[in-house]
């Protein structure tokens, strides 16, 4: 009986070891390096956790992204994980995969309460793909995601990322329309300010009053009608304290940089980012 128990215990332990090894292999396969640039050492990862790409589309997508590895690592990640901050989610995933190497990640979040396309970059790529470009690219490709063509969505996103890195033009219709609206509002505010201001210099106050005292002209005292005298007074404007100015001491943290706090900068790897709903 003792031998039989020992044999069963041995078999059970072997089964547990095999199961654990198989699980670890599955995890590694989900983050398997699909391509490595022999010259730069930068990698491409395609992680379709949401199962929205076919195996052929994944392989073709790797080939489409290869030119981007001149500038940094590249990753495509599809997920159904819920988040209330898609930029931070993408930043943490990019940092998990590539730490502080130059990298760019394109995330398709299929969660029904999220439904976001997000681009997050760091390092050399971040010098080109800024917050503004990231938002423009996600806006440009969200139509493909809405229609369910996720492969073309990913392919087009990285083709535009490459174009930005090569200083080529990409369409930014929302950015242009935004500039137009801002210019229109600024012009309206200036026009109203000029229409209601007595003088154009805001730092000078003019006090206008009538002088009732008569003055003498050719031996006669005459009181001029509607005569006015203008006195000029300079208004003191105290300097704005540096402690009251908006913004943070970390210049790389901006509203779109997907930094939860500036303490994560300076080695934390904020980078740039932008997202669009689809």
* pLDDT-above-90 percentage for the chain: 52
Q: Using the predicted structure, report yes or no on whether residue 25 has a pLDDT greater than 50.
A: no
Q: What is 28-172+269-277's CATH number? A: 3.10.310.50
Q: Using the predicted structure, report yes or no on whether residue 128 has a pLDDT greater than 90.
A: yes
**Domain residue spans of the chain:** 28-172+269-277
- Give pairs for 236-241: CB < 8 Å, separation 24+: 237/203
195-242: pLDDT as tens digits: 666 555 555 555 555 555 555 555 555 555 555 544 554 545 555 544
Overall average pLDDT of the 64-86 stretch: 98
What is the rounded CA–CA span in Å between residue 230 and residue 117? 62
Q: Six-digit token pair at 129?
A: 């793909």
Mean pLDDT of the chain: 77
What is the predicted pLDDT for the residue at 29? Answer: 45
β-partners of residue 206 are 232
pLDDT band at 163 (very low <50, low <70, confident <90, very high): very high
- The model carries a pTM of 0.63
Chain Cα centroid distance, residue 162: 17
Helix (H, G, I), strand (E, B) or coil at 175: helix
Helix (H, G, I), strand (E, B) or coil at 232: strand
């Amino acid at each position: 009986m003792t031998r039989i128990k020992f044999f069963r215990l041995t078999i059970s332990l072997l089964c547990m070891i095999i199961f654990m090894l198989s699980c670890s292999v599955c995890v590694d396969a989900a983050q398997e390096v699909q391509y490595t640039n022999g010259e730069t050492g930068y990698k491409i990862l395609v992680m379709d956790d949401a199962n929205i790409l076919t195996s052929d589309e994944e392989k073709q997508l790797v080939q489409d992204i290869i030119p981007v590895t001149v500038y940094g690592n590249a990753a495509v990640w599809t997920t159904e994980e819920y988040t209330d901050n898609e930029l931070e989610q993408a930043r943490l995933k990019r940092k998990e995969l590539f730490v502080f190497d130059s990298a760019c990640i394109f995330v398709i979040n299929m969660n029904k309460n999220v439904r976001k396309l997000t681009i997050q970059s760091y390092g050399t790529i971040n010098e080109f793909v800024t917050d503004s470009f990231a938002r423009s690219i996600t806006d440009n490709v969200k139509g493909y995601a809405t229609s369910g063509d996720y492969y073309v969505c990913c392919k087009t996103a990285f083709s535009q990322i490459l174009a930005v890195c090569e200083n080529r033009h990409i369409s930014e219709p929302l950015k242009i329309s935004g500039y137009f609206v801002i210019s229109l509002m600024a012009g309206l505010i200036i026009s109203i300010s000029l229409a209601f201001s007595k003088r154009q210099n805001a730092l000078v106050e003019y006090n206008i009053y009538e002088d009732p005292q008569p003055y003498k002209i050719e031996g006669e005292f005459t009181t001029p009608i509607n005569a006015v005298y203008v006195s000029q007074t300079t208004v003191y404007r105290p300097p704005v304290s540096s402690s009251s100015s908006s913004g943070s001491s970390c210049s790389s943290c901006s509203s779109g940089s997907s930094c939860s706090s500036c303490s994560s900068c300076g080695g934390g790897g904020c980078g740039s980012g932008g997202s669009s709903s689809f």
